[in-house]
Amino acid sequence: MPSHRTKQLSVLTMNTVGFTACFAVWVMFSVIGIPIKTGLSLSDTQFGLLAATPILTGSILRLPLGMMTDKYGGRPVYFWLMASIIIPLFLISKATEYWQFLILGLFVGVAGASFSVGIAYTSRWFTKETAGFAMGIFGAGNAGAALTKFVAPSIVVAWGWQYVPIIYAIAMTIVVILFWMFTYSDESHKVDSSVTVMDQLRMLKDPVVWKYCQYYSLVFGGFVALSLWMTKYYMSTYGHGIQEAALLAAIFVLPSGIIRALGGWLSDKFGAHQVTYWVMWTSLICLFFMSYPQTDLLITTYQGEKIGFHIGVNEYIFTALLFVVGIAWGFGKASVFKYLSDEYPDKIGVMSGVVGLAGGMGGFTLPIMFGFLLDKTGVATTAFMLLFGVTLVSIMWMQLSGERARDKAMHKQFHAPKPDTVE
């Protein structure tokens, strides 16, 4: 019989592997959508919708599947979730019309709901003192987006985009089998069956939850949106091929996913607010410079001479700023869920579903808005202008909510030294 520690590590490992695979599938259209866009002559708005469609179902289902995890346990819910996307993946390779891609994208998008299932399943195996770090490790499965950036473009170039969903379906089948073999259930992790859906949804009346939804719509929703958008951005703005563009986009995606574990540890050590505070200000500064469009300024002197200036961020500085934003959002994705594990330890499934829904909806709406703004203005950096505005709103909400004192009190409560016992 495996020890509790062995079960902890096995569940955490397989949850992270499963989430990585699901996330790779979830953002698959960020790569294969580019040749599909060319083949079907889609506008930027249509491309944004195509890339974001899987994000919609993954977001909507986070709440109900989070509640199902509370009630039935993480293992069976996670297993059937991953199994359900295998057939739609195969069918994508046969699609030829835009509407077919959209419908199949909705089915494949179920993969995105794996977050609320896996985060609840993972957190129940760990104590409050270590839950932040464990959830950070699990959340590093966001690096599945980077996996798609590395793998999918090479498949597209070698064999065509149709082979990407086929290979992903085969890989997902293997992951599902391994998951069932190396995970465990614990009946004590389930919520009492007398708890109804309405009892769980009643928690939505808490206004604090909506603040966390706002934060997560930026640090996770923005991460998903840029994961979907940046390959195309590098191709259209800087003239790279699909493989080079995807690798440059991975400079943002990969560290942001992996660093989440460190963000969990920092949140355990310093408190959720302290980490989130620096995440927001770092993001705001970087996005300010990234938002500035390439500008040629012509000044006429009093002598009638023309003096020209070029103002803008070059590709190297832009990529460095993008990397910093990715790191910051990686920390932020962990710190927001540290808030939840501290404040709602017995309802982490439903709360992760609520906040995950908000983050996912950010990931769904932002790419569509990126495409719409680009179609209307022709200015590529409008995507970063929009993200700058969202970040500014988050900082204002944080400053006005009195969150610092509240977070310090909660952090002190969970990290107070335990009294010595006398035997």
Q: Transcribe 174-194 into DSSP letters.
A: HHHHHHHHS----GGGSPPTT
Residue 16, C-beta contacts closer than 8 angstroms, at least 6 positions apart: 118, 137, 138, 140, 141
Q: What is the pLDDT of residue 201?
A: 64
Instruction: Summarize pLDDT for 235-266 with one digit per residue, the tens.
Output: 999 999 999 999 999 999 888 877 877 887 88
Start-to-end CA distance of the chain, whole Å, equals 32
Give the burial class of 423: count Cβ atoms within 10 A of its Cβ; 0-12 exposed, 13-18 middle, 19 or more buried.
Answer: exposed
| Cα(225)–Cα(216) distance, integer angstroms | 13
Q: Do 219 and 37 contact (CB within 8 A), yes or no?
A: no
For residues 34 and 43, the answer to whether their CB atoms sit within 8 Å is no
- pLDDT given at position 259: 82
- 337 vs 332: CA distance, rounded Å: 9
pLDDT score, position 2: 77
Which residues lie across from 297 on neighbouring strands?
Answer: 309
- % of the chain residues with pLDDT over 90: 49
Condensed to tens digits (0 to 9), the pLDDT of residues 372-412 reads 999 999 999 999 999 999 999 989 888 877 666 655 555 55
**pLDDT score recorded for residue 398:** 85
Give the pair of three-digit tokens for residue 321. 């700023």
Q: Give which of 31, 26, 29, 23 is closest to 50, Cα–Cα.
A: 29
**Locus of tokens 């499963």:** 18
**Residue 296 confidence class, pLDDT cut points 50, 70, 90:** confident
- Output DSSP code: residue 304: S
Asked if residue 110 has pLDDT above 90, the reply is: yes
Q: How far is CA 69 from the centre of its chain?
A: 20
Spatial CA neighbour of 312 closest among 359, 381, 370: 381
Burial zone of 102 (CB within 10 Å; 0-12 exposed, 13-18 middle, 19+ buried): middle
Q: Are 187 and 62 in contact (CB under 8 A)?
A: no
Asked if residue 418 has pLDDT above 50, the reply is: no
Q: Read off the pLDDT of residues 150-186 as tens digits, 9 standing for 90 and up.
A: 999 999 999 999 999 999 999 999 999 999 999 988 7
Residues in CB range of 199: below 8 A, 6 or more apart: none
Q: How far is CA 374 from CA 237, 239, 241, 419, in A?
A: 12, 17, 20, 60
- What type of residue is 44? D
What pLDDT is recorded for position 311?
78
pLDDT of 278 reads 92
Segments in 61-162 forming alpha helices (H): 62-72, 74-84, 86-92, 98-108, 114-123, 128-139, 144-159
The confidence band for 354, taking pLDDT boundaries of 50, 70 and 90, is: confident
**Confidence (pLDDT) at 169:** 96
What was the pLDDT predicted at 268?
80
Q: Which pLDDT value is given to residue 420?
A: 45
Q: Which fold, 4-183+198-414? A: Growth Hormone; Chain: A; (1.20.1250)
Encode pLDDT of 199-215 as tens digits: 556 767 777 888 888 89
pLDDT given for residue 322 in this prediction? 95
User: What is the pLDDT at residue 374?
Assistant: 93
* Other C-beta atoms lying within 10 Å of the C-beta of residue 234: 24
pLDDT in tens, 56-91: 998 888 878 877 887 888 899 999 999 999 999 999
- Mean pLDDT of all residues in the chain? 86
Which residue type does 200 have? Q
Cα–Cα separations (whole angstroms), residue 273 to 129, 235, 266, 406, 416? 16, 37, 11, 9, 18
Q: Over 60: is that where the pLDDT of 93 sits?
A: yes
Q: Tokens for 50?
A: 């195509």
> 137 by DSSP, 3-state: which?
helix
Return d(Cα 413, Cα 403) in angstroms, integer: 15
**Sequence spans of domains, the chain:** 4-183+198-414
What's residue 105's pLDDT? 96
Query: What is the C-alpha separation between 112 and 55, in angstroms, rounded?
Result: 7
